[in-house]
Amino acid sequence: MKTRKAKKNLKKTEILGLEFKKIEKARKLSDGITANVQKYINLHTTTTIERATLRLLGADGADKNGVPVPNIIVDKMKDKISEGVSKYYLNALVKSGKTPGELNNEIANGLDISKMELGDESKIKSKAKEMVEALDKRLSENVKFRNQKIKEYSSNEKKPWIYVIVATGNIYEDVKQAQAAAMEGADIIAVIRTTAQSLLDYVPYGATTEGFGGTYATQENFRIMRKALDEVGDKLKRYIRLVNYCSGLCMPEIAAMGAMERLDMMLNDSMYGILFRDINMYRTFTDQFFSRMINASVEIIINTGEDNYLTTSDAVEKAHTVLTSQFINESFAKRAGMKEDLIGLGHAFEMNPDIKNGFLLEFSQALMAREIFPLHPLKYMPPTKFMTGDIFKGYAMNTMFNFVTKATNQTIQLLGMLTEAIHTPYLQDRFLAIENAKYVHNNIADFLGEVSFKKDGIIVKRAKQVLDESVKMLEEVNKIGLFDAIEKGMFADVKRPKDGGKGFEGVFEKSEDYFNPIEDYLKNKLKIR
C-alpha cells in the first residue's frame, strides 16, 4: 500500500475511498483534545515518574522487606516531590563520593538522603550530566544492537509478526515456553504480568518464580528473558521481539526498566488504566506521557488497548469508539515524540459470529484501520468475547481472523488459542495456533492485490459509516473535554470520576524550581518543545 506521503495529492484512500479531508479533520480534532490534557501534564509530576527518574539515574535494589530503593527515597520526600526528587539522590552521590550501587545499599539499610542538606547546585547539575551521559550510552547501545540484529536477519522476517504469550508465573519456566514458541515460528514473545500487578504501586525486585495468571514484571525478569530470546534468535537467525506491560501505577518505571534491558514492545495505552483498572485519569495521563518519551527514545513500539473496548461494548454499534480512541492515542503518542512506525494502535476481531455478513464487517474494520494509519504497526487481537467450547467452531473463528489479518496487512497478530482464557496455553495449543496462522498467511499472501470492492458494497459503506461516526464523536469530545467524556462513559461504556480511582494522591504540581534531568534529556533528544 502507498504511504501517506505518496497519497498527499489524492482525495481518497486507495481501496475503501475514505476521504482524506475527514481523516485529517479527525486528527485535528484529536490534537485539540490532547492539547488541553497536555497543559495539565506539563504542570505535574507523579511519584512513579520520580521513581522512574531515579531508576534511570542508577537507583536500584531493595531493603530486607523487599521495598525498592526508589520507593524508599520517594516515600520519605512527599514534601519535596514538587521540586523533583532526583536532585536529592544526585546530591547524596556528590557529597558521599559513592557509586550508585554503594549509595543504594546504604539507603536500603536505612540512610535517609532527604535529611542531607543540598550542596552546590552546579555540582549537582554536573553529576546529573555525568549520569545522563552514561545512561544515553547504555540506551544507544541497546538500540544499535537491536537494529543490527534486525538487519542481519532481515531475510527471515515476515509479516504479520506472530505474537504469543507465556504466563506460567515462573520466569525460568517462561523461558522454556518462550524458546519453544520461537522455534515453532513465533516472532514476538509477551510475558503476561501476574494478576493485578498494574495495581501495585511498586515494582518487585529480582527474579520471581511465583505469580498468578502471569509472571511479575521485574528488571531481572526482563534481563533473563531478553538473554533467552537472544540465544534462541541467534540459533534461528531471527530477531525475536520481547514484550511486557507498561501500564498501571508503575507505568514509567516499567518503561525505564524495559529501555535499560532492551525490550522491543510495550503495551502502553493512554486510557486503558483509567477504564479497565480504575486508575485515576490525572495520574494515568501524566504517567503515559513520561513513559512514552522513554519508549520513543529507545525505539520501543507501543501497543494501545482499543481491543479491550469491544469486551465491554458491542463491536458493531461501538466500532467508532475504537477508531476515536486510536486517533486520540496517536495524538498523545506524537506529543511524546513517537514516530508513526512506533505507534502500534490496537483493534480486534470481536463481533458476534452469528451476525449475518459479520466477516465482511470485520474485514472492513481491519482494512479501514490500515488505510487510515498506513505507517503504523497495527496490533490485531483474536476473537475472545464469543469464543466457544466447540473446538471446531473455535478453530473456524480463528482461521477467519487469520485470513483478515493477512489480507488487510496487519503488522502484529496475537494468535487465538482455545485454552488461553482457561489457563496458560498448552504447548500443543500454541503450536496449532502458529501452524494455522502460517498456513493461512502463506496461502493468501497477495490476496489484497487481487481483489477490488464495490463502491456501494457492505465493506466500503461500513468503513465510511464508522469514520463518520468517529468524527462526530471527536467533535463532541473536543467540545466537552476528554476528562468529562470519560466521566460520561463515552469510551467502552465505562464511567470513571475525575477525582476518583487509584493513585490520585501520587500526583503533584511542579514547583517553579522543579528539576528532572531525565525529563530534560528525553525532551531534548526527541525535540519536544
Nearest to 25 by CA among 491, 377, 371, 470: 470
Could you please report the per-residue DSSP string of 277-309?
A: H-B-HHHHHHHHHHHHHHHHHTTPEEE--GGGH
Read off φ and ψ for residue 413, nearest 5 degrees. Answer: -115, 115
- DSSP helix/strand/coil, 380: strand
Helix (H) or strand (E) segment spanning residue 260: helix 251-260
**Which residue has cell 477490488?**
452
Helix axes 86-96, 517-526, angle to 10 degrees: 110
User: Are the C-beta atoms of 435 and 189 separated by less than 8 Å?
Assistant: no
For the chain, the farthest-separated pair of C-alpha atoms sits apart, in whole angstroms, at 74
Burial 502-512 (b: 16+ CB within 10 A, else e): bbbebbbebee
Q: What share of the chain is helix, strand, coil (3-state, %, to 5)?
A: 55, 10, 35
Rg of the chain taking only CA atoms, in angstroms: 23
Nearest to 324 by CA among 461, 496, 486, 459: 486
Q: CB count, 10 Å around CB of 315? A: 25
- DSSP helix/strand/coil, 457: coil
User: Are the C-beta atoms of 108 and 69 separated by less than 8 Å?
Assistant: yes
> How many residues would you count in the chain?
529
CA distance 301 to 273: 18
The four Cα atoms 367, 368, 369, 372 give a dihedral, to 10 degrees, of 120
CA distances from 82 to 27, 54, 78, 167, 507 (A): 33, 15, 8, 38, 9
> Distance from CA of residue 84 to its chain's centroid?
26
Residues designated catalytic: 272, 307, 379
